[in-house]
C-alpha cells in the first residue's frame, strides 16, 4: 500500500491542497491582452506543421541521484546502483529499468543550476523561464505554447493540465497572454465534469438557446468589450467544444491491452490520457507526478515514486515513437530543483538546485545524449552548465519557434523568453 506523503517540507507551497490551489488560481486576477506575434513570420511558419508539447512536472523535487545522474559507490550515492541503457556509456538509476530501454530517444541535460531552493520560486522559474519579480508576472510554458502553436479552430483546449481528481477548473498561468491560454484541469481518464447535455434538452432547443446567448453577447460586447468579457464569451464556446469532445478524455475507449501496459496507477492513467489527447490534436499537456519532497526516507520513497513513474513514462515515449509522433512532440521531464548530494540524519535529501537534471525527448532535440556533467559526488556542475532561462529558450527552439520573438500584447512587445538568455544549441538537432 502506498504510504501517505508526510515527509514534505513545511513551505507554504505544501500547505495548500492541490484542488484548493487550482480553484484559488482559477478565481485569481485576469490579465488583459490577446495579442499576436510581433512578426507574422513565426505564426505563418507553424501553420503547415503541428507541434505538440508534453511536460512531466515531478513536483516536490525529483532526486537526480535516484534517477538521471546516479553516483553509486560514493558517499553521496545512496544504496541504488546505476544500470546500462540503450545508449552505450549513458547510465541511469536502477529504479528506471524500462526508461533505460528507451534512452536512445532521450536527451539528458545534467548540468542544470538554477540557484533557487524554494519550491514556489523554483517551480515558477522552471515553468516560466524567468525569476519571480514584483514588477511583472510571466506566462508559464503551457500558455506560451498554446498561444504560439495552437490552432484557434482546434476543438480541444490549447493548454491541458492532467492531475488526479482534476475537475475542469481553470488556472491563471497565462499572465498577460490572457485567460484564453490558461490551463483546463482534467482528471485521470474521465471526461470533464458537467460536459454532458441533459437528455431533456433536444438538439434543436440547445441550438436555439445558444443562438440567443450569442446574439445577447454580441450586443453586450459592442458596448462594453474588455478582456474579461472576451474571456467569458470564450469560456462558453470552449464549454460547447468540450461537450463535443467528451470521448477524447475517456480512456475507457482505449484498448484493454493499452490500459494494461500503462498500468492502473494514477500516473499510468494520466499518461494514457495524455497520449489519447495528443492523438486527438491537443497542443500542450502537462502531467503532474508528486510528491518528491523527500526530506525523510528519500530512498524508500524514491523506490516507490520513481518505480511508479518508470513504466508509464517509458511506454508513453515508446508509443509516441512507434506512432511517428515523437518527431513532432517535445516531451520534457522537469522539477523545481533536485535533491542534495548529502544525506541528512533522517535518511533524506534536502533541496538542491545547483547540480541536477532535466530530461527531454522528441522534436528538434538530439537523441540518445547526455549533455553536461556533474562532479564525482554530484555536488557541482563541471561541464555544460545551464539554467531555467536556457531551458525555456531551448523548449521554444525545439518546436520550431524563434525564442527571441515577441508577442504583441496591445501594442507592446513582450518577449516569449528572457531576452538576456539563449537556447542550448548543442542539444538542438
Quick check: is 331 in a domain? yes
Quick check: is 244 in a domain? no
Give me the pLDDT at residue 201, please. Answer: 85
Of 420, 300, 416, 395, the residue nearest 107 (C-alpha): 395
Question: Would you call 30 helix, strand, or coil by DSSP?
Answer: coil
β-pairing verdict for 184-186 and 159-162: parallel
**DSSP tag of 279:** H
Dihedral of the alpha carbons of 234, 173, 17, 262, in degrees to the nearest 10: 80
Give me the pLDDT at residue 371, please. Answer: 98
Lowest mean pLDDT among 226-235, 323-332, 375-384: 226-235
d(CA 88, CA 208): 64
**DSSP tag of 41:** H
Give me the pLDDT at residue 2, please. Answer: 44
Lowest mean pLDDT among 56-65, 133-142, 227-236, 416-425: 227-236
Inter-residue contact 271 to 313 (CB < 8 Å): yes
Quick check: is 145 in a domain? yes
Q: Which residue has the higher pLDDT, 186 or 234?
A: 186
Confidence of residue 46 (pLDDT cuts 50, 70, 90): very low
CATH number for the domain that contains residue 76: 3.40.720.10
Quick check: is 315 in a domain? yes
Give me the pLDDT at residue 42, please. Answer: 47
Give me the pLDDT at residue 410, please. Answer: 87
Quick check: is 50 in a domain? yes
Give me the pLDDT at residue 44, please. Answer: 46
Which whole number is the average pLDDT over 380-393? Answer: 98
Model confidence pLDDT, tens digit, residues 333-366: 999 999 999 999 999 999 999 999 999 999 999 9
**DSSP tag of 153:** T
d(CA 50, CA 399): 9
Quick check: is 35 in a domain? yes
| Cα angle, residue 54 at apex, residues 137 and 99 outer, rounded to 5° | 130
Inter-residue contact 333 to 56 (CB < 8 Å): yes
Quick check: is 417 in a domain? yes
- Domain membership of residue 65 as a residue range: 12-190+250-427
Quick check: is 6 in a domain? no
Model confidence pLDDT, tens digit, residues 224-243: 777 677 777 777 777 787 78
What pTM was estimated for this model as a whole?
A: 0.87
Model confidence pLDDT, tens digit, residues 279-291: 999 999 999 998 9
Amino acid at each position: 500500500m502506498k504510504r501517505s506523503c508526510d515527509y514534505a517540507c513545511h513551505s507554504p507551497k505544501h500547505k495548500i491542497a492541490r484542488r484548493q490551489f487550482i480553484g484559488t488560481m482559477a478565481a485569481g486576477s485576469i490579465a488583459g491582452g490577446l495579442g499576436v506575434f510581433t512578426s507574422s513570420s513565426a505564426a505563418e511558419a507553424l501553420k503547415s506543421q503541428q507541434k505538440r508539447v508534453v511536460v512531466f512536472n515531478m513536483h516536490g523535487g525529483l532526486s537526480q541521484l535516484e534517477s538521471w545522474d546516479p553516483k553509486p559507490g560514493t558517499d553521496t550515492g545512496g544504496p541504488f546502483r546505476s544500470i546500462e541503457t540503450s545508449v552505450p556509456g549513458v547510465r541511469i538509476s536502477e529504479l528506471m529499468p524500462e526508461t533505460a530501454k528507451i534512452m536512445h530517444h532521450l536527451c539528458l541535460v545534467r548540468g542544470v543550476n538554477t540557484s533557487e531552493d524554494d519550491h514556489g520560486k523554483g517551480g515558477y522559474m522552471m515553468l516560466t523561464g524567468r525569476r519571480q519579480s514584483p514588477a511583472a508576472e510571466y506566462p508559464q510554458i503551457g500558455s506560451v505554447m498554446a498561444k504560439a502553436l495552437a490552432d484557434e479552430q482546434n476543438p480541444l483546449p490549447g493548454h491541458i493540465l492532467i492531475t488526479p481528481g482534476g475537475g475542469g477548473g481553470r488556472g491563471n498561468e497565462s499572465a498577460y497572454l490572457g485567460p484564453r491560454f490558461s490551463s483546463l484541469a482534467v482528471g485521470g481518464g474521465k471526461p470533464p465534469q458537467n460536459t454532458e447535455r441533459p437528455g431533456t434538452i433536444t438538439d434543436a432547443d440547445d441550438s436555439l438557446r445558444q443562438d440567443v446567448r450569442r446574439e445577447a453577447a454580441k450586443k453586450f460586447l459592442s458596448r462594453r468589450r474588455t478582456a474579461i468579457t472576451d474571456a467569458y464569451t470564450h469560456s462558453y464556446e470552449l464549454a460547447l467544444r468540450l461537450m463535443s469532445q467528451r470521448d477524447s478524455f475517456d480512456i475507457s475507449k482505449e484498448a484493454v491491452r493499452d490500459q494494461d501496459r500503462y498500468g492502473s496507477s494514477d500516473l499510468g492513467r494520466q499518461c494514457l490520457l495524455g497520449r489519447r489527447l495528443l492523438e486527438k490534436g491537443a497542443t500542450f499537456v502537462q502531467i503532474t507526478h508528486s510528491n518528491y519532497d523527500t526530506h525523510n526516507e528519500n530512498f524508500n520513497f524514491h523506490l516507490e515514486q520513481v518505480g511508479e513513474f518508470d513504466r508509464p513514462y517509458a511506454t508513453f515515449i515508446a508509443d509516441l515513437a512507434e506512432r511517428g509522433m515523437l518527431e513532432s512532440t517535445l516531451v520534457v521531464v522537469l522539477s523545481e530543483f533536485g535533491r542534495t548530494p548529502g544525506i541528512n540524519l533522517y535518511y533524506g535529501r534536502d533541496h538542491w538546485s545547483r547540480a541536477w537534471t532535466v530530461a527531454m525527448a522528441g522534436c528538434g532535440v538530439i537523441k540518445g545524449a547526455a549533455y553536461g556533467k556533474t562532479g564525482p559526488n554530484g555536488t557541482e556542475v563541471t561541464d555544460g552548465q545551464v539554467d531555467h532561462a536556457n531551458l525555456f529558450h531551448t523548449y521554444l527552439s525545439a518546436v520550431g519557434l524563434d525564442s527571441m520573438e515577441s508577442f504583441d500584447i496591445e501594442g507592446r512587445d513582450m518577449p516569449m523568453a528572457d531576452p538576456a538568455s539563449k537556447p542550448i544549441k548543442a542539444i538542438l538537432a
